[in-house]
Structure 1
Amino acid sequence: MREIGNPHPRLPLPAPGQEDDPAVFLAWLREAIPMVEHLGIQRMVRDDLTLAWELALPPSLNDKGTGFGGSLTAQTTLLGWCWVTLWLRRHSLARDVVVAEASQRFLAPVTDDYRITCFPEHDTGPVELADSLAARGRGRIALIQQLWCGDTLCLEAHGDYAVLAAD
């Protein structure tokens, strides 16, 4: 059981040239952040610039039988954190990531299982983050998260994530 004030051990970095196994990363995430077990994440997919989760709606139901805004907000924020963490791991960097700022716009009710995608707000974001880390040892990146229920965009979120300096 996790104890307050004690950081969870980091997942070892993948071997150079190898990617994180999504199942291994999600298993670690469930241990590191206990609420993840209850989010309904069914699958994680990623490519060079996009990270996506497919999620079941039942764990996030509200009293109206649709998606609970607080749960959906937590999921978008966490997906952004995962995007930055996995980007760092891909670049063989073990660093702490924190959300510096986040906002959401709710556009339509979530009425079924859904997917959330996350990608940089600007195409140059990852290069600028890499340059900042190399020059100053820390950096920030702006990400967009979109929650889709079928073909309907239900929520759009924006987050600024900070990569802290090495210990």
Structure 2
Amino acid sequence: MNSDSRYLESVLHHDIPLTRDMGLKVLDWQARQLRLSLPLAANVNHKSTMFGGSLYCGAVLVGWGWLHLRLKEEGIEDGHIVIQEGQISYPLPVTRDATAICTAPSDAQWTKFLRTYERHGRARLSLETRIINEGSDADAVRFTGQYVLHR
């Protein structure tokens, strides 16, 4: 775990206490990709699979964390990130520990987001995240979130 990963995990556990109870851990932040770990044991439901609410939370948080770290890299620390809207699907059950993943949007989307924020003090960015079962690469959860940064 690099220093950015430790930093983000500290922010999440301090600012969003639910993440501690979920057992959420930051696995890594590299090549503009963020990966979080969600343990099944802390998020299990009555069917011995991961609770849908925990999966939604993990999908939102990996996008929020991605944006938080990316803005930190850009030197932007005067804004507040909120989720405005989200669309989620659950194509597969999560039956093991899981990994939530967020990769970078296109360079054009990122540049437009930054320019809009600089001009107006508010900007929206759509991020796609996914959650996979440990040992698999198949999407168990797909999420698209509209995140807003505002001063």
TM-score by length of 2: 0.88
Aligned twin of 2:112 = 128
Percentage of identical aligned residues: 25
Distance 2:100 2:143 in 1: 10
Aligned twin of 2:22 = 39
For the structure 1 residues 105 and 38, does the alpha-carbon distance in structure 2 shift closer, same or farther, using more than 3 Å as the test?
Answer: same
1:118 Cα shift? 0.9
Contact 1:115/1:147, CA 8 A, preserved across alignment: yes
Amino acid in the other structure paired with 2:129: Q
The answer as to 2:41 corresponding to 1:58 is: yes
Aligned twin of 2:140 = 154
Distance 2:107 2:139 in 1: 21
Amino acid in the other structure paired with 2:141: L
Aligned twin of 1:10 = none
Q: Map 1:90-101 to 2 at 5 A.
A: 90-94=73-77, 95-101=79-85
Distance 1:62 1:52 in 2: 23
Amino acid in the other structure paired with 1:138: R
Aligned twin of 1:8 = none
Q: Map 1:53-92 to 2 at 5 A.
A: 53-92=36-75
Higher relative contact order (Cα pairs below 8 Å, separated by 6+ residues)? 2
1:27 Cα shift? 1.7
SS in 1 for 2:46: coil
Distance 1:34 1:28 in 2: 10
1:122 Cα shift? 4.0
Structure 2 segments unaligned to the other structure (5+ residues): none
Matched residues, number:
147
Aligned twin of 1:7 = none
Bigger Rg, which one: 1
Give 2:32's match in structure 1, choosing from 49, 61, 70: 49
Contact 2:9/2:26, CA 8 A, preserved across alignment: no
Give 2:99's match in structure 1, choosing from 115, 127, 134: 115
Structure 1 or 2: larger helix share?
Answer: 2
Aligned twin of 1:102 = 86
1:162 Cα shift? 0.4
SS in 2 for 1:21: helix
Amino acid in the other structure paired with 1:163: L
